[in-house]
Amino acid sequence: MICTDKQPNTLESIALASAESVQAAKVVRSPKKQQFDILRPLRQWLDGIAISDRQMAELLAKAIPAQCPFERDIKLFGHKVGHIPPLCKLNPFYDQLVGLRFRALCYLVDQCGVDIQSYI
d(CA 95, CA 103): 12
Q: Residue 86's pLDDT is what?
A: 86
CA 16, 17, 20, 25 dihedral sign is: negative
CA 109/CA 52 separation, integer angstroms: 13
The residues with which 75 forms a beta bridge, in sequence order, are 80
Q: Does this model's pTM top 0.75?
A: no
Amino acid 39 reads L
Residue 68 lies in a domain: yes
Element (H, E) at 76: strand 72-76
Give the integer Cα–Cα distance in Å for 39 and 37. 5
Q: Is residue 8 part of a domain?
A: no
What is the span of the domain harbouring residue 70? 37-119
Q: Establish if 23 belongs to a structural domain.
A: no
Residue 1 has pLDDT above 90, yes or no: no
Residues 70/84, Cβ–Cβ less than 8 Å: yes
pLDDT higher than 90, residue 105: yes
The answer as to whether 28 is a domain residue is no
Q: What is the pLDDT of residue 30?
A: 53
Least confident piece of the model among 24-28, 51-55, 78-82, 99-103: 24-28
- Specify if 103 maps to a domain: yes
What is the reported pLDDT for 22? 45
- Say if 107 falls within a structural domain: yes
Task: Tell me 34's DSSP state.
Answer: P
Please spell the DSSP secondary structure of 49-62, one letter per residue. Answer: PPP--HHHHHHHHH
Contact between 61 and 107 under an 8 Å Cβ cutoff? The reply is no
Q: State pLDDT tens for residues 6-63.
A: 444 444 554 445 555 545 544 445 556 677 789 999 999 999 999 999 999 999 999 9
Average pLDDT of every residue of the chain: 79
Report yes or no on 19 lying in a domain: no
Does 97 have pLDDT greater than 50?
yes
Q: How many domains does the chain have?
A: 1
Residue 100 has pLDDT above 90, yes or no: yes
Is residue 97 situated within a structural domain? yes
